[in-house]
Amino acid sequence: MTNVFQEGLQRLGLSGELEAAFLRYRQELLEWNTRFNLTAIKDPEEVMTKHFLDSLSLLAIYPQDEATLLDIGTGPGFPGLPLKMARPHWRVTLVEATNKKVTFLRHMVDVLELEHVEVIHGRAEELGQKPAYRSAFDLVTARAVAALPALLEYCAPYCRVGGAIILPKKGDLQDEMAQGKRAAAQVGAVLEADTVVDLPGINDGRRLLTWRQQKRCPEQYPRSGAAMAKRPLG
């Protein structure tokens, strides 16, 4: 397995030396997972591929050395923490609504001695109304958090004009995609690329949808969670 992870690192142009830190991350994740419900993926080999390599796959289309990243609904850190480990110059903000996951994230940032990682306990739709966070990030992502219209409403308010929103998705997206494109127009973004993820150990039809923020997201977004559920964009 380690070989599969090493092959993945190599394919992404990353140093094999990163593996030690990822093994430590996995050890803490699986240990904490026996007390808190952090991840449904418990197989050690799958953690390396479906969590770590899958998170790192964003680098295949966003390889920059410098960036400000916001990861919404990061859970135990995906994809934000692996990206920070691979790109030490990035400034990373992780937002998570569940307190026990936030506790784990802060622990992981300590253990891995990461700098310039801000862990925020809160909901995307609340933080998005704070001026300091609006149009503030080069790159915004969210994995496995919601359907496209809600994801775009969560992400776009934080993305600077000209910045990117990259959303990992899998499965048949036909209906969701049509609605997502209409939602994007409402929040000032447009679909730029739909990229199949081709990495060892990942063959479940995973794709990365890249949206470009073309203009500032209207101030009315994100709406309250209740309004989003009642009247989804798109």
Q: Where do contacts with ligand SAH occur on this chain (CB under 6 A)?
A: 72-75, 78, 95-98, 101, 123-125, 143-145
Closest CA to 30 of 8, 45, 17, 19: 45
Peptide bond preceding 168 in cis form (omega within 30 of 0): no
Q: What does the CA dihedral 8, 9, 10, 15 come to, rounded to 10 degrees?
A: -170
Distance CA 202, CA 208 (A): 13
Closest CA to 191 of 173, 175, 211, 207: 211
Complex with ligand SAH: residue 142 or 191, whichever CB lies closer: 142
To the nearest whole angstrom, how small is the minimum distance from the Cβ of residue 49 to ligand SAH?
A: 13
To the nearest whole angstrom, how small is the minimum distance from the Cβ of residue 95 to ligand SAH?
A: 5
Closest CA to 184 of 204, 205, 206, 164: 164
* Partners of 71 in the β-ladder: 94, 141
From residue 147, alpha-carbon distances to 28, 39, 114, 144, 170 in Å are 30, 20, 31, 8, 11
To the nearest whole angstrom, how small is the minimum distance from the Cβ of residue 10 to ligand SAH?
A: 24
To the nearest whole angstrom, how small is the minimum distance from the Cβ of residue 5 to ligand SAH?
A: 17
Q: Are strands 68-72 and 189-196 parallel, antiparallel or unpaired?
A: unpaired
Complex with ligand SAH: residue 167 or 189, whichever CB lies closer: 167
Complex with ligand SAH: residue 124 or 140, whichever CB lies closer: 124
Complex with ligand SAH: residue 4 or 147, whichever CB lies closer: 147
To the nearest whole angstrom, how small is the minimum distance from the Cβ of residue 18 to ligand SAH?
A: 19
Distance CA 219, CA 193 (A): 26
To the nearest whole angstrom, how small is the minimum distance from the Cβ of residue 174 to ligand SAH?
A: 22
Complex with ligand SAH: residue 6 or 98, whichever CB lies closer: 98
Complex with ligand SAH: residue 61 or 214, whichever CB lies closer: 61
To the nearest whole angstrom, how small is the minimum distance from the Cβ of residue 79 to ligand SAH?
A: 7
Q: Which residues contact 3 (CB under 8 A, 6 or more apart)?
A: none
Here the tokens at position 117 are 């990682």
Complex with ligand SAH: residue 32 or 78, whichever CB lies closer: 78
DSSP 52: I
Distance CA 199, CA 4 (A): 9
